[in-house]
Structure 1
Amino acid sequence: MRLHWTDSLTGAVGYLVVHTMRAGLATGGTRMRAGCTLGEVEDLARGMANKTATFDLPVGGAKGGIDFDPKDPRAVEVLERFCEAMRPWLDSHWVTAEDLGVPQHLIDEVFEKLGLGQSYHAAISRAADPAATLERVRAGLNAAVEGGFLLGDVIGGYGVAHACLAAAVWWGQAPAEATVAIQGVGTMGGAAAYYLHEAGMKVTTVADAAGTLYCPDGLDVPALLDLRDSYGEVDRTRLPADVQQLPRAAILSSDVDILVPAAISYAITPDNSFDVRARIVVEAANAATTPEAEAMLAARGIPVIPDFVANAGAVAWAWWLLLGEVDDIPENSFDRLRTIMHSKVEQLLAAWAEAGVTPRDTGHLWADDPSPVAGPVAIP
């Protein structure tokens, strides 16, 4: 299902695409960026359906997108009007969350203003005790973790970090011996960089909208993240002297073991895929690699861990939290996600090495065979 919306005040165009529903529910974030298209939202909704099926979640896949600049001072009002227009779906069928250009705290503020409480409203409203479920969700999202972060903000990036670590372990490389480049240091990319740095992996290169930052001995990731603004861009005036500033496109040609595109969709294309020098690509951004570019990488022996596995930790965790399978104790969530992510990445790379099956094709086999959902989802 595809819904088109036009904002009468700004002319902004928005889309809701529901790819799959299970037990009357679909989940997927809402993004806002200038140039967002229906085709992009369709791809993202398809990816969400793959994520939920791959992680055996009792919900289908959907996505919202708004073609508008999130830095425009009218952006919050545009988001409010979009959510009001989509209210019948948000009320009963579409569980949404943060995405590119729309942080979780902002969409939650919009939902509260609309009287819907929180962005997981469509699922929470089905709970046996909606008030208790809402309290559990808020406690989980706002649980404090090391580094001064909140659990809900970092759990997706934590999963990406462990997809990278699982790849290194699989090919027999200690984390301290591996190097990584990360395109994007917003919510997902920043958290991935933090946890890779904490695990001892050398993050030599990161990029934001202003360019690429490089230090051959490894960047001081926690210090770098402290220099970010609310849009995930690093203040260049406060950079350490040993950090080199390179063009933004330089991130893709970084001489590293692992490349993590964690910013925009379609970052790796046929035009730039031959610039990639990494041993493996781990998609933290949704639809980060075009199908043609991925085929070109595979022909060169470079596998791509697809987004619907690598960055699915955020949606998987959200549903574990909704279902009461994890709580606001971060270690419980980290332990479960780490174990599952390592297992899935190891299976993907084993199929790649043993049979030449790309990780995406193996992942699609998992996604095509989800467990059945009989009747309404029981949310405690």
Structure 2
Amino acid sequence: MSGAGATSSHDHEPLMRLTWTDPVTGTRGYLVVHTLVSGLATGGTRMRAGCTVTEVEDLARGMAAKTATFGLPVGGAKGGIDFDPKDPRAIGVLERFCEAMRPWLDAHWVTAEDLGVPQHLIDDVFARLGLQQSYHAAITRSADPERTLRRVRAGLTAAVPGGLLGDVIGGYGVAQACLGAGEAWDWPVAETTVAIQGIGTMGGAAAWYLHEAGMRVVAVADAAGTLHRAEGLDIPVLLELRDAFGEIDRSRVSPDVQLLPRDAVISTPADILVPAAISYAITADNMFDVAAKVVVEAANSATTPEAEAMLVARGIPVIPDFVANAGAAAWAWWLLLGQVGADPVEGFLRLRTEMRAKVALLLHQWNVAGVPPRWTGLELARPDRDASARAEKPAQLIIP
């Protein structure tokens, strides 16, 4: 588990690990269900070359902590496929994986987008399999599945600044975590600087909403390298230059933007560092390069346990992924449960309120008592809101 010496009641063996081999390409795929609550678990499906069952298990454990921290009546799971999403065969691999996982997707596992798998793609696959939408296992339990499906689709496709609500809500939550961190130290918004590693769905949306709020995003990194401008980057322009894989067309970048190596984003002088790309991006080997005052994990398991312990020893707190990037999962379940509707204002307000409150608590404990934010975050997931404890209760999930 990603954590600086912290333990929690989520540190138990997962309920199930499943390994799949694609009959066409021979690639491996994995499903790890950490906990079931009311017979359900939630967690996205990722695709990247080199994905391992250990990685997927870490992510499933993180999802269990995420759902408990935000009080969601569901357990944690994760899917992963060891395949390059840029390969033209990737859609076929994803479809065969979902077909093989159909017993779980039909009744127990609510999945969604993750690294390498955008929401529209996984929804297309579900539609071809006759499952309509990736929240299928929950939607079919509702009192009126058709009405719930309409509400979910309306929410996911609601147009907002920066894109569609379903695509940007996770990044919006990360932006609120960053703004909450600034509030904890009374940093003036316009003078606060941010470096973001990863400019895809999560990192791009975080960059958009931070820019909109007035923070200076001074560096962003994609697979091709880091773009840096000390005065602040024109984020809306850069986002328009991205391709389908979140890479920016360098031929159209303003000449006053520095083009640096990809790893330079880690050492960029900035108040906040947001790793929003791959898992395990900050390690014991590059941790000393971190120049930020706080790390906000937008990617799942972005910091290894060793690196986090060393950052904490340096006085650099890490806002853990199961808090900072929980916005998409929390909002999706609020939407499913009818606690918010498709109106973006409603979803943004609830997420902003809950994220700011949690970050304020985490950093208060850090500032007053030196308690690492992960430890305080794990306390939020104990014991009556803990997924493993709730899994033992015969609670019924009611979806209107």
Is 1:375 the equivalent of 2:395? yes
Match of 2:155 in 1: 140
SS state at 2:383 partner: coil
Does the 8 A contact of 1:53 with 1:369 survive in 2? no
Structure 1: distance between partners of 2:239 and 2:227? 12
Is 1:252 the equivalent of 2:272? no
Match runs of 1:235-314 below 5 Å: 235-314=249-328
Structure 1: distance between partners of 2:333 and 2:49? 30
Match of 1:112 in 2: 127
Structure 2: distance between partners of 1:274 and 1:324? 45
Match runs of 1:77-116 below 5 Å: 77-116=92-131
Structure 1 residue identity aligned to 2:254: P
Is 1:229 the equivalent of 2:243? yes
Is 1:357 the equivalent of 2:377? no
Does the 8 A contact of 1:108 with 1:119 survive in 2? yes
SS state at 1:53 partner: helix
Match of 2:43 in 1: 28
Higher relative contact order (CA 8 A, sep 6+): 2
Structure 1 residue identity aligned to 2:49: A
Does the 8 A contact of 1:183 with 1:262 survive in 2? yes
Cα distance, 1:369 vs structure 2: 2.2
Structure 2: distance between partners of 1:200 and 1:183? 19
| Partner of residue 122 from structure 1, selected from 137, 141, 144 | 137
Cα distance, 1:370 vs structure 2: 4.0
| Partner of residue 176 from structure 1, selected from 187, 190, 213 | 190
Cα distance, 1:376 vs structure 2: 2.1
Cα distance, 1:375 vs structure 2: 2.4
Unaligned runs of 5+ in 1: none
| Partner of residue 357 from structure 2, selected from 305, 330, 343 | 343
Structure 1: distance between partners of 2:161 and 2:318? 30
Structure 1: distance between partners of 2:338 and 2:290? 41
SS state at 1:62 partner: strand
Match runs of 1:45-56 below 5 Å: 45-56=60-71
Aligned sequence identity (%): 73
Is 1:63 the equivalent of 2:78? yes
SS state at 1:205 partner: strand
Structure 2: distance between partners of 1:55 and 1:174? 28
Structure 1: distance between partners of 2:189 and 2:127? 42
SS state at 2:77 partner: strand
Provide TM-score, normalisation by structure 1. 0.99
Structure 2: distance between partners of 1:58 and 1:142? 24
Match of 1:159 in 2: 173
Structure 2: distance between partners of 1:357 and 1:88? 42
Cα distance, 1:353 vs structure 2: 1.4
Unaligned runs of 5+ in 2: 1-15
Structure 1: distance between partners of 2:225 and 2:264? 8
| Partner of residue 8 from structure 1, selected from 14, 19, 23 | 23
SS state at 1:44 partner: helix
Structure 2 residue identity aligned to 1:106: L
Cα distance, 1:367 vs structure 2: 1.4
Does the 8 A contact of 1:47 with 1:308 survive in 2? yes
Cα distance, 1:374 vs structure 2: 4.3
Match of 2:205 in 1: 191
Cα distance, 1:195 vs structure 2: 0.3
Match of 2:4 in 1: none
Cα distance, 1:327 vs structure 2: 1.0
SS state at 2:263 partner: helix
Match of 2:57 in 1: 42
Cα distance, 1:81 vs structure 2: 0.3
Structure 2 residue identity aligned to 1:56: G
Structure 2: distance between partners of 1:370 and 1:329? 31
Structure 2: distance between partners of 1:179 and 1:73? 38
Match runs of 1:204-215 below 5 Å: 204-215=218-229
Structure 1 residue identity aligned to 2:169: I
Q: How many aligned residue pairs are there?
A: 379
Structure 2: distance between partners of 1:102 and 1:370? 33
Structure 1: distance between partners of 2:106 and 2:129? 10
